[in-house]
Structure 1
Amino acid sequence: MHMPKRQRGFTLLELTTVVAIAGTLSAVALPRYADTIRSARVAKMDVARHAVNEAAQVYHLKWMLAGSPAAGSVLDEVQMNANGYPTSAGIVVAAGLAEGYDTRVAGVIAADAQHPECSLAYLPDTGTSVNRYGDGAGC
């Protein structure tokens, strides 16, 4: 008499257990991952805002030390305005934000092209920046 060969594979109970574990992990991990990515964008914009404010102050001091030249002057490849602050295009160079940020809109520095609401506005007349990302909910 031939004994039937034993089938190899997973039982329905084992497969159901694996699917349940995977579902539970994804239900917990995906929101946490999304929150971590948002927090990273907020931190990126905080760094950008600090860099913009510091660069504006440094270049304003350089402008004053240079004798407060007329509007349209250029200091270290940074275009300056009549008030002695970098222009909207100049602040991107001065703060070193040409790479890694979306700077296509003059005076607006965004985290990236996919998140334009996660941005700050640079005010060249006063050399300050305005946080447009609030508490980061839109990032």
Structure 2
Amino acid sequence: MRMSKRQGGFTLLETTAVIAIVGTLSALALPSYVDMMRSARVAKMEVAHDAVIKSAQVYHMKWMLAGSPARATVLDNVQMNESGYPTSAGILIAAGLADHYDTRVAGVIAVDPQHPNCRLVYAPDTGTSVINDADGSNC
């Protein structure tokens, strides 16, 4: 006697339906994911900007309390210039940004190496910084 064995598995129609559903969900979710990642990079840049501004102010006050030396000096392991603000290397230590940002170019703090236009530029002569891409369009 011959017994009929039925093979288990999915039919072509079922597999096609699942692929269509997954494709549709991916097409809807991908733009939201991209926008969310851009927003996260912009937020990270704003946090760095705030940290740089506050650190420059704090160390400028420390420099003034130290007697406003008219030469480059070091305060709490932070290199200071003769204007009383942290140098480009010093602001990374003062603001704690060296480990989580792309800081390979002096005075430029980028979110990461993959997004070099999403950055801020620090001016050590005045202790100010400007976000290069404030609206986040290139982040």
TM-score (norm 1): 0.94
Q: Which residue is equivalent to 1:18?
A: 18
Distance 2:35 2:56 in 1: 32
Which AA in structure 2 matches 1:133? Answer: D
Q: Which residue is equivalent to 2:27?
A: 27
Distance 1:72 1:82 in 2: 5
Aligned length: 139
Distance 2:62 2:3 in 1: 92
Cα offset, 1:37, TM superposition: 1.2
Alignment of 1:33-72 (within 5 A): 33-72=33-72
What percent of counterpart residues are identical?
Answer: 71
Q: Which residue is equivalent to 2:104?
A: 104
Counterpart secondary structure, 1:42: helix
Which AA in structure 2 matches 1:131? Answer: I
Distance 1:7 1:99 in 2: 56
Structure 1 residue runs without a partner (length 5+):
none
Distance 1:98 1:6 in 2: 63
Answer yes or no: is 1:113 the counterpart of 2:78.
Answer: no
Cα offset, 1:36, TM superposition: 1.2
Structure 2 residue runs without a partner (length 5+):
none
Distance 2:40 2:71 in 1: 38
Q: Which residue is equivalent to 1:132?
A: 132
For the aligned residue pairs, the C-alpha RMSD in angstroms reads: 1.3
Distance 2:6 2:75 in 1: 82
Distance 1:130 1:108 in 2: 10
Q: Which residue is equivalent to 1:86?
A: 86
Counterpart secondary structure, 1:130: strand
Answer yes or no: is 1:122 the counterpart of 2:114.
Answer: no
1:67-97 CA-partner distances (Å, limit 9, x unpaired): 0012211111111111111111111111011
1:34-64 CA-partner distances (Å, limit 9, x unpaired): 2111111111100000000000000000000
